[in-house]
Amino acid sequence: MTAPNTPEGPSNQPSAPPAPPGDGPHWEAPAEAADAARPRPDYRREILVGLVLVLGSAVAGLLFGLLWHAVAPRVPLYSDGTAVYLRDPEGEQQIAADGWFALIGGCFGVLAAALAYWFTRRRGAGLAVPIGLTLGGLAAGWVAWQLGVHMGQQDLLKLAASVPTNTDFSRPLALGAKTAIVAWPMAALLTFLAATALFTPKEPRAEQD
């Protein structure tokens, strides 16, 4: 018997052409590795930033209340010895007092938001800044309201008895429109959002293949 003829040397069959670079499967990093590479948020720092904003705003509310008590107009009253009456029934002193409260609170809110953005613009603080500005603004408004109305004599009858009959005196300061308390947090949030949109550099988008 003769052995079958088996070709020696390289095969004569054409080999498949090499795949061009870039057409093969791409290697992708595992999801766990990608997640590990991302910087994790520092929750302790965010909580600290929020607490500083709340406490700092509440302390600033003391100055807010002092300014409001100093500049807000008073409602004029007089007494005939038996009752207390409004000297100017159509006066707008109470509306002006509420307006001054909202105006001063709005200015403080803009200042608080500008400072918060300036000190957190590099490292950021997540949602801690807007939450801290909101809660801090509400706390500051409440502190200013309570301080402003409790400075001076609060008993209207004792106040009327301390002045001569038919002599004008001022009613204790009051906040008629309680919604003015939100002037600080609203102004702070709008200022912070505007500063973030205008001055924060946008990250470049990754180029798609």
Q: Helix, strand, coil shares of the chain as percentages rounded to 5?
A: 55, 5, 40
Strand partners, 86: 77
* Number of compact structural domains in the chain: 1
Residue 160 lies in a domain: yes
The pTM of the whole model exceeds 0.85:
no
Q: What is the mean pLDDT of each run of 10 residues along the chain (209 residues)?
A: 51 53 51 50 80 96 96 88 82 92 97 93 80 96 95 78 81 91 96 89 58
Q: Give the SS3 label for residue 169.
A: strand
Q: φ, ψ for residue 188 (rounded to 5)?
A: -65, -45
Residue 31 lies in a domain: no
Give the angle 62-63-64 at the CA atoms, nearest 5°.
90
Contact predicate 77/86, CB 8 Å: yes
What the block records as the tokens of 7 is 């070709």
Residue 42 lies in a domain: no
CA distance 180 to 93: 15
Residue 16 lies in a domain: no
Find tokens 């918060």 and name the residue: 116
pLDDT for the residue numbered 205: 59
Residue 205 lies in a domain: no
Q: What are the angstrom distances between the C-alpha of 21 and each of 4, 17, 18, 73, 148?
A: 42, 12, 9, 80, 76
* Domain span at 168: 56-78+91-199
pLDDT for the residue numbered 170: 80
**Which residues, including other chains, have CB under 8 Å from residue 182's CB and lie 6 or more apart?**
137, 138, 141
Residue 144 lies in a domain: yes
Residue 6 lies in a domain: no
Residue 12 lies in a domain: no
pLDDT for the residue numbered 34: 46
CA distance 35 to 162: 73
